[in-house]
Chain A
Amino acid sequence: MGRKLWVFNLLLCLFFASPNLAQDDWGEIVIPPQKPIKIAVGTMLTGDYASMGIDIKNGVEMAVMEKGSILGHSLQIQAEDDGCAGPPSVAIAEKFGNDPLVVGVIGYMCSGGSKPASDIHNKYKLLMISPSSTAQELTARNIPVFFRTCWNDIIQAKRAAEFAAKKGLLKVAVIHDKSDYGQSLAEAFARGIKEKGGEVTALEGITRGDKDFSPVLTKIKPLKPQLVYFGGMAAEGVLIVRQMKRVGIQAEFMSDDGCFTEKDFIQAGGKAAIGAYITYAREPSADWVKRFEAKYGPRQTFSPQAYDAARVLMDAVEKVAKKKEDGSLVIGKKALRDQVAKTDMEGVTGRIQFDANGDRTGSVVVVYQVVEEKGKAFFKALE
C-alpha cells in the first residue's frame, strides 16, 4: 500500500517539478522540506544479546549525530528491535520499507534475521547494510541492496586457519555451538585446516546455554589436539577455555569475534584465557574508542562496524541526493545503491570497499592474542 502511495506521490512531483529530473529505475525516495532523513537501525534492543545490539545502535547514533544533517535536512535515527530472529526482523523490515523517509537500514544484527529480511529489502529495493551479519549466504543470493561492513564467516575462518597453519598447529579439535554462526565458522575452519594439510581430530557440537562441557572435552582429550578451535560466543567460549585446562587438555585455544569481549571473555576467563587467539576486525583508533566510550560506556564488538556502515550510507546519500526548488530532497534508489557499491572510504575499521556481492574487500580480519602485560590482560593484535 505504501509503495503505491509514494509512486503516485512521485508522479505528482514529476508533474510539477523541474523537467531535469531523470526517473530512477527502482523508484525514488522523496524527503519533503523540513522533514528529516531517517537512518533506520534494526538491532536487538532487548533480550539475550541486547548489550551487543544496543552497542550497534550507539555506533550508528554517534555517526549520525556527528554528521548532523545533509543538504539542509536533519538526520534522524530510528531504531527498532529485531529480536535477533526472523519474524521480528521481517516485521520491522516491512515497517521500514513503508516509511517514505527511510533511506536505508543499518541491520540486521543476526544472520537469522538478516536472511529473511533481505528478501523484504529486495522487494522494496531499500538499502540494507549489516554491521554484524556474517552468514555467507547473504551475499550469495544476488540481492543487490545488501552490503556489509563486517566480514563473512568464510573469510574469518580462513584467516584463522591460515594463522593456525603458520604457527604449526595442524592437529586440531573443532567445537561449535550448533548455531548458524558458530557452526559455519567451525566447518569453514575445519575445511581450511585440511587444505593446509592439517588434521581435524574432532568436530563436535555443544548446546548454547549449557555450562558443563567436561564430557565433550574428556572425549577430545585422548586425541591430543594441539589446538582447540571454538566457533561460538563468549558465554560458552570462556567456559570451554577454563574447563579445557581443568580437564587437562594441553592445547592452544582459538576462537572467533564472538569471544572478542573484554568483560565476558578476558575478565570471566581469568588466567585460563591468557594466550587464547581470537580473530576480529581491525581495532578502531584509541581516539575513536575514547570518544565512543565517553558517551556510551564500554564498547562491545560491533559498534565500529555500525559506525562505518552509517557513514557509508550517509556519504552515499549526500553524493546522490538532488535538491529541488521546493526544498525537498530526491534520492534515486538505484543511484543510491550504485553509489554505495562504489564506496571507497577510510572507516574506523580500515579501508572500506565492496565487491560485486556486497562483501567487504581487503584484509578485514586480524588475529589477536590475550596477553597480560603490566598486570593487565587485553587483546593484542598479532597480524
Chain B
Amino acid sequence: MRWYQKRSNKKIAHWLSLLILLPMPLFLGSYWTHILGDIGLYVLMGIGLNVVVGLAGLLDLGYVAFFGIGAYSYALLASPQFEVHIPFWSAIPFCVLLASVSGALLGIPVLRMRGDYLAIVTLGFGEIIRIFLNNLDPITNGPRGLLRIDPPRFFNMVIDQPLEWYYIILFFIVFSILFFQRLGDSKIGRAWMAMREDQVAAQMMGIDLLRYKLLAFSIGASFGGLGGVIFAARQGSIFPENFSLMVSINVLCIIILGGMGSVRGVILGSFVLVGLPELLREFEQFRMLVFGLLLILTMIFRPLGFFSPERYLGKPDFNRPRGE
C-alpha cells in the first residue's frame, strides 16, 4: 500500500489541509479569496455529481438543472420578486429538498435507459430547465434575471465579503465531504459501486436497481441544489444564462480529470478548472482547446481519472484484432 493510501496518513493529511485552508484568505487578499470561493462551489457540485457518476456510474450531463433549481428556489424565496424574504439558513433545507425531489423525478423516466441514452436525455433535461427558466417570465423574470437577492445574515452581520463567504463555503464543503465518505462506505455506496461496474450482475445479487438509481439521482441533486443556493446568495443576482450546458460539462470534467469517486480528485480538478484560467488569463483563447484535448488524452491514458480509487483492470478484448 502506498503511503498516501494508508488510513492513518490520510487523517493527518486531512487535518493538515484544514489547518492550511483556514487562515489562507488572510494571505491572499479579496480577489483570490473570491476565486477560492468559486473553486469551492465547484468542489461542492463535484462531490454531488460524484455520487451520480463516480459512485453509481450514471452519466448525468444535465447536472446544471439542479444547480439552477436550487438557485432559483432560493432567489424566489429571498428577493423582491415576490416580496418574500425567508432567511438564508431557513431556506436552505427547503431548497435542497426541492432539488433532491427534482433529482428523483428526473431519475424516474431514465431508470431503464442505457448509459449513452441516459447521457443525452439528462442533457436534454438540463436544457429544458434552462429554457423554461428563460421563458417563464412572470415567475423567473426571464432573461432579465432576478436581482437583489438577499444575502445571508449571521447573527447581526450581513455576509457580503469574499472572506465571509469563504468560510461558509468551506463549512459546507467539509460537511459534504464527511457525508460523501460515509455514503461511500455504507451499504448504499457499495450497492452503487456494484451497479456501476456491472448492472446485470448487481441485479442478480439482489440489488434493487430502481431504488438505488433514484437514490443516487436525488442525493446527487441535493448537492447541486445546495451549490445553487450559495451561488444565488453570493452573486446577488442570477440569470438563466448562468445555468447553461457548460456548467454541467465543467463539473463533469472536474470529476473526469480528478477521478471518479475521489474527493481529492474533485478538489484538484476544481483548482485546475477554475484556478488555472484565472492564472492564465492571457491564454484564455486556447483554454478550451487545451481542455478538449485534455479530456481525450485523460480518457485514453487514465480512463478513471488521475486520482481514481482503483486502477482499471482492463479485460482482454476480443474485439481488437491481434497485432494492433
| A–B contact (CB under 8 angstroms) | yes
A98 and B30 contacting across the interface, CB-CB below 8 Å: yes
| Residue A192, interface by CB 8 Å | no
Q: Please choose the segment from B177-185, B231-239, B297-305 that sits at the chain A interface, where 4 or more of its residues have CB less than 8 A away.
A: B231-239
Residue of B at shortest CB range from A80? B281
In chain A, positions 75-100 with a C-beta closer than 8 Å to chain B are: 80-81, 85-87, 90-91, 94-95, 97-98
Interface of B is mostly: helix
How many whole Å from A93's CB to the nearest CB in chain B?
9
Q: Please choose the segment from A175-183, A346-354, A361-369 that sits at the chain B interface, where 4 or more of its residues have CB less than 8 A away.
A: A175-183
Once A46-B285, A98-B30, A141-B147 are accepted as A-B contacts, the answer to whether A86 and B235 lie under 8 Å apart by CB is yes
Contact mask A91-124 → B, CB, 8 Å, 1/0?
Answer: 1001101100000000000001001100100010
A184 to B160, CA, bound (A): 29
Q: Which residues of A contact B281 (CB under 8 A)?
A: 80-81
Contact of A178 among B135, B145, B148, B237 (CB under 8 A): B135
Residue of A at shortest CB range from B284? A46
B238 and A205 contacting across the interface, CB-CB below 8 Å: no
Residue of B at shortest CB range from A46? B284
| Residue B38, interface by CB 8 Å | yes
A94 to B30, CA, bound (A): 7
Once A81-B281, A95-B31 are accepted as A-B contacts, the answer to whether A137 and B144 lie under 8 Å apart by CB is yes
Residue of A at shortest CB range from B239? A112
| Residue B241, interface by CB 8 Å | yes
Count, chain A residues at interface, CB 8 A: 31
How many whole Å from A139's CB to the nearest CB in chain B?
13
B284 and A86 contacting across the interface, CB-CB below 8 Å: no
Contact mask A187-206 → B, CB, 8 Å, 1/0?
Answer: 00000000000000000010
B145 and A115 contacting across the interface, CB-CB below 8 Å: yes
| Residue A272, interface by CB 8 Å | no
B31 and A86 contacting across the interface, CB-CB below 8 Å: no
Contact mask B268-288 → A, CB, 8 Å, 1/0?
Answer: 000000000010010011000
List 10 interface pairs A-B (beta carbons < 8 Å), by A numbering: A1-B29, A80-B281, A86-B238, A94-B31, A95-B31, A98-B29, A112-B239, A178-B143, A183-B142, A184-B144
Point out residues on B near A: beta carbons under 8 Å.
25-26, 28-31, 33-35, 38, 134-135, 142-145, 147-148, 160, 162-163, 235-239, 241-242, 278, 281, 284-285
